[in-house]
Structure 1
Amino acid sequence: MANNKRNLNDLISQNDDMEVEEDSLSDTSQQSEVNQQTKRRRTGSKSGRSFCWKYFEPYPETMGIETKCKFPGCTTKYTWRGSTSNLKGHLKKIHKIVETTKPVQKPNNNPALDINLPLIKFIVTSNQSFNVVNDMVSTGFVNKPYQIPATTLKIEEQINKTYDKLFSRLKQMIQSAESVALAIHIWDIDDKECFGKTFMEVTCHWLTNDFKIHRILLCMTEFNSSISMADKYIEQIQEKWELTNYEFITTDFYAEAVFSEFSEFSNHKYIRNAFHFLESLLPTCLEQCLNVENQSILERIGEIKNKIDGIQDVIEILKEEEAQEKLSSLPGASIIFDIGKIIERKWSSIYFGLKYIVSMEQQINSLVSSWCSDKDDYVKSKGNDLKALLPDSLQFKILSKLSQIFEPLESVEEIMDNCDYLTINVMHSIFAKTVNGIKYRADNIKNKLESATGNNLEMNMIRTITDSIYNFLNTPNYFDVFFYTDTAADVGNVASLLDPRFKLTYSSKKAEKFVQKECEDFYSNQSKNTENSISDEKLPKRQNILVSDFFSDHGSANSTSNSNNMIDYNEANPQENSKEKASKELKSYLDLPQQQSSIDLYDWWKQYQGLYPGLAILARKYLAIPATAYSSKLSQNEHKENLKILLNTYKDSDIISKIVFLRHNKNYLDDLF
């Protein structure tokens, strides 16, 4: 303590030796200054220096150095003792200079803090140009305008930053997935202002280890529709996202024609768009009717098929304003609007076109008679064109029966127009039920005709058509016409088998053999198979009310089967071979009561994956495959309208693609910031 006190007195005495040529500034807190001098000593680095050293020189590296004021005419000098108090006092008193206070800023270690997330969300969801932000600020709509970027350039900069960050995160998630499915949709913007542009949309779908479903947009880009350019687009997407783990591809009609021949896809399973099934079912069934031996019936059926193929041309004429005005003035016009509303639907337009012209037979014939007798040559010509496309009276009767047979398609229509996202397992099961309904109706009509008396051409044709339709749809492999399949099993059947709601109703023995073999492979390679961990993400709520209603008659009592009756395959007999383990696992799963259609499929698998580890791996692979390359007609039309606005708002196609990307994947944004 004595030494410390002596050292302190020595330091105080040193402070008394300071030379001042002007009025010496007495510091009443010299002792405090001395105690802090070590902290305040300069090391020679420019960073952290007091503002005083702008006006004094030289900068003292050690104690005792004399420093002089640099102001012209000022001769004040100080001996450096470790404190700038005297220097500051001199500058304030003599030269009226004080230090400017600066706000303390914490270091920004997170670049995401530079991004105004609410602003980004507003831009990508509002379809407004960047200038609207400036307008909001200038009109006082924004309470704190200093929080808003002042220029459109800054806003675009934030869009780019947000895109890069989200892209990086989603890419990491995709690469962590064991298996993903792609959906490719190519569509047109039929708008004069947009010059009829074509766009390609690619989405990626997968299930995480804990059965969280992800559906993200990889890209939406303007597409050069020439087939020679298509491979370059896909190659660019593959390279950008480094896609190595996709196994299934769902395409729409156009994309299928463009991409199906490329070698990049040769090792992957195609899933034809659900639209293909709905649109092809009626004409494909009629195709089967052309195998009859009776030549006169064969010719008449061929004529009917031609009328079916020309339904779209009839509808195009009847949609015109002149036709609608004429039809609305005729008796029974109310059904025009009831049925006419659904003609525009994308799904199964052939069936709804057929139903429309059958229901409107009298009105349409009146329209044709009126047009054909019109004095105007153009109107008369249009009437003759429509007359040539329409069926004759006998064909109308046959088409009326076909309309009754294929009426179950309307139930599918409801689901697909209201459900935002459908997977192959659900759609395959819906198709199977729909086909069973069509078979039932065809069989009923056939049985009634067989018991009826008479043998005229009309009855024979109806009998032949209904019999052909029933026999074709009753074959086990009728789905092969509508879905691409691999050599092992039909993808739809496998997906239905792995769905505990439909496994006993809409699967097949072929699918069981395939699943059994896959389970065997799992157990034989169990030590090698390690699953990547994937983080949970916020997901949009799935819509499944109508799907549940559709299968209400197939749902069994809600069963939460006693887990004591099941085998824990992680603790199975080690002496059992992989085939025995796989067989027990599959049998235990199939012996479970079929679950109600209202259960959450992914919650069920999350709960039971520990009991069925081999099946769970397959479930994650097959239960995320999309059945359609695009969502419902409502959301698709909304998507098109939004894109039209963006095309008219922004000139830069790159910024448009990024805005669409952020909008579609906005559910992932909150987890980034």
Structure 2
Amino acid sequence: MPPKRANSSTESLHASKRLASDITDEQEPQIIPKSANKTSWVWDYFVEKTDGRVYCQYIEKDGENEIVCGASLLYKTQTSSMSYHLGDKHKVFNKKKEQQLKIDDQIKKFTPHKEPKQQYLRNGLTDWLVTDGTLKADIGAGYQEALLQMKQLINETCTYAAITTDLWTARNNQGYIGITGHWLTPNMELYDILICIDLIKYPHTAENIRLALVKKIQELHLNDKVKHAVTDNGANVVKAIREWDGVDRIACTSHTLQLCVMKGLRKIKSYACRFRKLNQFFNSPKQAERLERAQIEIANLNKEITRQTLTSSDRELQDSNEPINIPGGSLQILRTIADCKTRWGSTLASWKRLLELKEAIKRTLVTLRLDSNSSAIKDWKKLRKRYLKDCEWKLLEELCKLFQPIERATTFLGGEKYCTISLIYSTLESIRFYYTPLIEDDDENEEGIEDDDDELEDDDEESDDENEGESESDEEEEDEQRIRPNVTTRQQSQHQQLQQQSQQQQSQHQQHQQQPQRQHHQQQLNTASIINKVQKEIYGALFDYWNDPPMAMLLATILDPRCKRTHGWPNELRERVKVELKVQYDEIKPQNNTQPEENFSNNNSSIDRFHAYIFGPQVIEENEDTEFDNYFRTPQASYDTNPFQWWQNNKDSFPVLYELARKYLCIPATSVPSERLFSDAGNQICEERNRLKASTVTELLFLKRNSEYFNVFK
């Protein structure tokens, strides 16, 4: 019987399986033998195959059975993934890991050389050490080169100069004196140069300051050229300049304006303290972060409100734009500004910032109130006590407006690259006009200005309680007197006194009940009264400090072509300044201008000589006051004219007055250049560099501040 033939479909299926098995066997990745450079402990548990992967060979026991992990990991060059797998899955770690030896133990293993060899190696090592002496030497050499260039520049361009000076104490408690020089070149270019910042030994007496100034000025050959010094109102500096022969002192306008403001602030000590306490509450990182979150929440809320109020077309445009990235993007997170008592500018800046953060502060207060956390409740009580009332917010806003003109004047007059001395008088006159008191003082309002509102309210509540208790006891005593018909005369008089006291106390009690309404009305009136008192104090201080303006300031004003008409000046003051200007004009006027000039023709013909012999030489008699008078006859320049450029263009027409303009228009209105110098010095002598030598500080700052004029490292 013939064998059965298999079904054709079954045979084809078996054939395909055999083919797939053959292909799989051919493509199975092969194990790569372990190379010598594979020294890591993980290779005890892994093998690498030709497919670029490693396979875990860790054997786990499951009862009597042993199971190979077989996990596959991608492998390139690092073994960190394999060690992580062993530690995480199998709790296998490197037991052969050696501990790093301490330096002392490592050194003990060294075998020292013999002494000659050891000394030779030490000498060789020191030769290879790199020191930073080269940089210090370069700075010192650059300073000396710049100093020579400065002396040459002074000799070529400086005829008259003014200086500013101030004292400063560094972080390392060393005292420094800074001097800046200011002059106009023959081309009427204003130079603003750091002369020095040198160490000055204690005590900082007027004599020591004067000697330090004179010594440095003489070193630079400026002793005959410095005519004016601008300083603050420190007693030692004022006395030092007063004792310096040939140099006139001009008070720093910014510092004097600050003194005026400080006098005004004395009238609002209690309110200024309230503002400062609220500002200080947000100085801690925790409260600053809360204030930041409040600003972000308000920004998101305003953004949502804006979206809801957009029209359909605007909404499509808005949706197409990118959303606000908070924080960052268009939202600027504001933080409180520290208030320095000696710098009224920082006080004003901190007040303005409080107004900008008013809504965020209010939101922070509400957020703390709704928080049940004990720490938040404690902070809420602190903030609630410091939070300003509506009348105080209104007062703060009015005070910021009140001090705005002085802030603008201080900023404007603190410039270094343009003429400022000639604008002091007109600026002060405008400030005086602005601070003229408008209303008369009210004695009742004056009593409430210095009191703190919280203390007033507490006192009122206590007095109310006391009055109520006394009233009840008086009524009981009065009832006892009524039910006793036989009373003595003495008792009757006592009874009448008690009745009078009771009536007075009842009337006082009624007054206390009506007091909150009157107090609210008084607070509304106090804002205007307080502002007026501050205004009046500043107004009086302006007259006290500038009762007799320095002549240099007035001469500079009249030599400024924009201000020579002296608009608003009293006639007596105008004539006095003109007389002084004429005196100085005559002192430096060339002598040949006062003599008649003989004008002979250059023609050497005999006819001209004959005419000259008969009629005499032709004489041109010039009026000696022609230049002086013509200057005041010419039109006044517009306010946007550069006075330095004007004098450069007209120096041939007014040669004598041109020299006087160089003398006075270079004077700065403030000693701010010295203040800015100390800001740079503070950046140099920071906590990390407070051991710098004083000579190094001098050289670094000299090169930095004067790099515009002396670049010695090209």
Compute the TM-score of the two structures, normalised by the length of structure 1: 0.52
The corresponding residue for 2:227 is: 247
Instruction: Give the partner amino acid of 1:657.
Output: T
The corresponding residue for 2:162 is: 181
Q: Tell me, yes or no, if structure 1 residue 661 matches structure 2 residue 714.
A: no
**Which shifted more, 428-437 or 508-517?**
428-437
Q: Tell me, yes or no, if structure 1 residue 594 matches structure 2 residue 636.
A: yes
* In structure 1, distance between residues paired with 2:588 and 2:679: 47
Query: Are 2:631 and 2:654, in contact at CA under 8 Å, matched by a contact in 1?
Result: yes
Cα deviation, 1:85-123, whole Å, max 9, x if unaligned, reads xxxxxxxxxxxxxxxxxxxxxxxxxxxxxxxxxxxxxxx
Instruction: Give the partner amino acid of 1:620.
Output: R
Change (3 A) 1:465 1:378: closer
* In structure 1, distance between residues paired with 2:209 and 2:424: 29
* In structure 2, distance between residues paired with 1:379 and 1:205: 57
SS in 1 for 2:179: strand
The corresponding residue for 1:620 is: 662
Query: Are 1:485 and 1:491, in contact at CA under 8 Å, matched by a contact in 2?
Result: no
Q: Tell me, yes or no, if structure 1 residue 308 matches structure 2 residue 272.
A: yes
**Deviation of residue 505 (structure 1)?**
6.5
Instruction: Give the partner amino acid of 1:425.
Output: I
**Deviation of residue 646 (structure 1)?**
9.8
Instruction: Give the partner amino acid of 1:508.
Output: W
> Where do 1:142-291 residues align within 5 Å?
156-157=136-137, 159-171=139-151, 173-174=153-154, 177-187=158-168, 195=172, 198-224=175-201, 226-228=203-205, 230-231=209-210, 233-242=212-221, 243-252=223-232, 256-262=234-240, 264-265=243-244, 268-277=247-256, 279-285=258-264
**Deviation of residue 621 (structure 1)?**
1.9
The corresponding residue for 1:69 is: none
SS in 2 for 1:500: coil
> Where do 1:374-389 residues align within 5 Å?
383=382
Cα deviation, 1:30-78, whole Å, max 9, x if unaligned, reads xxxxxxxxxxxxxxxxxxxxxxxxxxxxxxxxxxxxxxxxxxxxxxxxx
The corresponding residue for 2:290 is: 326
* In structure 2, distance between residues paired with 1:333 and 1:249: 52
The corresponding residue for 1:457 is: 522
Query: Are 1:425 and 1:492, in contact at CA under 8 Å, matched by a contact in 2?
Result: yes
Query: Are 2:336 and 2:354, in contact at CA under 8 Å, matched by a contact in 1?
Result: no
Query: Are 1:496 and 1:507, in contact at CA under 8 Å, matched by a contact in 2?
Result: no
> Where do 1:52-201 residues align within 5 Å?
156-157=136-137, 159-171=139-151, 173-174=153-154, 177-187=158-168, 195=172, 198-201=175-178
* In structure 2, distance between residues paired with 1:608 and 1:494: 18
The corresponding residue for 2:562 is: 501
* In structure 2, distance between residues paired with 1:586 and 1:468: 46
The corresponding residue for 2:354 is: 357
**Deviation of residue 259 (structure 1)?**
1.6
Query: Are 1:200 and 1:223, in contact at CA under 8 Å, matched by a contact in 2?
Result: yes
* In structure 2, distance between residues paired with 1:269 and 1:407: 31
Change (3 A) 1:214 1:154: same
Instruction: Give the partner amino acid of 1:495.
Output: A
* In structure 2, distance between residues paired with 1:481 and 1:333: 47
CA RMSD of aligned residues (A): 5.3
Match of 2:582 among 520, 534, 549: 520
* In structure 1, distance between residues paired with 2:338 and 2:183: 33
Instruction: Give the partner amino acid of 1:183.
Output: T
Instruction: Give the partner amino acid of 2:562.
Output: R
Change (3 A) 1:413 1:575: closer
SS in 2 for 1:618: helix
Query: Are 2:180 and 2:673, in contact at CA under 8 Å, matched by a contact in 1?
Result: no
Change (3 A) 1:592 1:462: farther
Cα deviation, 1:507-528, whole Å, max 9, x if unaligned, reads 7346633441233223543467
* In structure 2, distance between residues paired with 1:261 and 1:500: 34
* In structure 1, distance between residues paired with 2:423 and 2:333: 29
SS in 2 for 1:589: helix
Runs of 5+ consecutive residues of structure 2 not aligned to the other structure: 1-127, 300-330, 442-518, 593-618
The corresponding residue for 1:551 is: none
Change (3 A) 1:379 1:619: farther
* In structure 2, distance between residues paired with 1:267 and 1:484: 23
SS in 1 for 2:177: strand
Cα deviation, 1:639-672, whole Å, max 9, x if unaligned, reads 6435549947x84432332232233223333699
Query: Are 1:180 and 1:205, in contact at CA under 8 Å, matched by a contact in 2?
Result: yes
The corresponding residue for 1:533 is: none
Q: Which has the larger radius of gyration?
A: 2
The corresponding residue for 2:395 is: 398
The corresponding residue for 1:547 is: none
* In structure 1, distance between residues paired with 2:412 and 2:139: 36
Cα deviation, 1:234-278, whole Å, max 9, x if unaligned, reads 35434533534323222357xx35422335348644333343255
SS in 1 for 2:668: coil
> Where do 1:462-477 residues align within 5 Å?
462-465=527-530
* In structure 1, distance between residues paired with 2:260 and 2:587: 42
The corresponding residue for 1:111 is: none
**Deviation of residue 499 (structure 1)?**
1.9
Query: Are 2:337 and 2:353, in contact at CA under 8 Å, matched by a contact in 1?
Result: no
Query: Are 1:286 and 1:469, in contact at CA under 8 Å, matched by a contact in 2?
Result: yes
**Deviation of residue 324 (structure 1)?**
1.7
Change (3 A) 1:527 1:620: closer
* In structure 2, distance between residues paired with 1:343 and 1:214: 34
> Where do 1:571-590 residues align within 5 Å?
574=622, 581=625, 585=627, 588-590=630-632
**Deviation of residue 624 (structure 1)?**
1.0
SS in 2 for 1:656: helix
Q: Tell me, yes or no, if structure 1 residue 428 matches structure 2 residue 424.
A: yes
SS in 2 for 1:508: coil
Give me the identity figure in percent: 17
Change (3 A) 1:318 1:512: farther
**Deviation of residue 215 (structure 1)?**
1.9
The corresponding residue for 2:75 is: none
* In structure 1, distance between residues paired with 2:170 and 2:288: 25
Query: Are 1:494 and 1:507, in contact at CA under 8 Å, matched by a contact in 2?
Result: no
> Where do 1:625-644 residues align within 5 Å?
625-631=667-673, 640-642=682-684, 644=686
Cα deviation, 1:465-508, whole Å, max 9, x if unaligned, reads 55567777788xx755556956xx45444433322234447773
Change (3 A) 1:645 1:318: closer
Cα deviation, 1:186-211, whole Å, max 9, x if unaligned, reads 34555xxxx46554321111123442
Change (3 A) 1:375 1:202: farther
* In structure 2, distance between residues paired with 1:376 and 1:281: 43
Query: Are 2:413 and 2:669, in contact at CA under 8 Å, matched by a contact in 1?
Result: no
Query: Are 2:160 and 2:183, in contact at CA under 8 Å, matched by a contact in 1?
Result: yes
SS in 2 for 1:261: helix
